[in-house]
Amino acid sequence: MIRLLKLIVLILGLMLVALSSAATPSPVQRYFQSLQSLRADFIQRVFNDRGQVTQTSSGRMLMRKPSQFRWDYRTPAEQIVVADGERLWAYDVDLAQVTVRKLDRALSSTPLALLTGATPIEDAFTVSGVRNRDGLDWYDLTPKQPQPEFRLLRVAFKGDTLVTLELEDGFGQRTRLDFQKLERNPSLDPALLKFTPPPGVDVVGDAS
């Protein structure tokens, strides 16, 4: 779960920092230029190569540029994942276990550079023109260098609101995030973007 989640969150972070480099920015690109934070409910679905749903989960997410986020999975199991800018914390409530790693070690170098704004989007991705499907405007982002976790990122907007993010790997498996009640540039409580392990849980990894 952690490998998949960190990729999804990083790519969403990429959208926060990077869709701003075109010579003539589109309305969507202009939207991202001024985007500093997000808050939304989400539904996450995993599809196999035959298009069948193999996993569904839901929860709430927070994100603040450049490298802080929090994902609270509520169903089917309660899990909390927090990046505080230095470390990535993953808390499995049922197992009473926290796994922690330094952020630069937990995340591959290319997505991390994109998330922190060090790499422009055009250096890492080929971005397709917009196309309309099911009332949504879709963009495809294809990595210029092979990535181990995915081969294609799709992003969909309704008007100027982000509604869907979809990743496809080399085996045809897709992970789709649909956002609801999305708030653009909300004021976020800094305490929610920090994590302190609850008393009595096992902590595994580099917490020092």
Predicted confidence (pLDDT) per residue in 15-63, tens digit: 554 444 445 555 555 655 667 888 999 999 999 999 999 999 999 999 8
pLDDT at 172 over 70: yes
Question: What are the structure tokens assigned to 171, written together?
Answer: 């085996």
Looking at every residue in the chain, the average pLDDT score rounds to 80
Place of tokens 């230095």: 86
pLDDT at 188 over 80: yes
Task: Please give the residue that has the higher pLDDT: either 151 or 18.
Answer: 151
SS3 content of the chain, % helix, strand, coil (to 5): 20, 45, 35
The 8 Å CB, 24+ separation contacts for 188-193 are: 188/37, 188/39, 188/62, 188/64, 192/62, 192/70, 193/62, 193/64, 193/68, 193/69, 193/70, 193/82, 193/83, 193/84, 193/85
Give residue 84's identity as a one-letter amino acid code: D
Residue 132 has a CB neighbour count (10 Å cut-off) of 9
Domain boundaries, the chain: 2-193
The CATH number of the structural domain formed by 2-193 is 2.50.20.10
Predicted confidence at residue 157, as pLDDT, reads 87
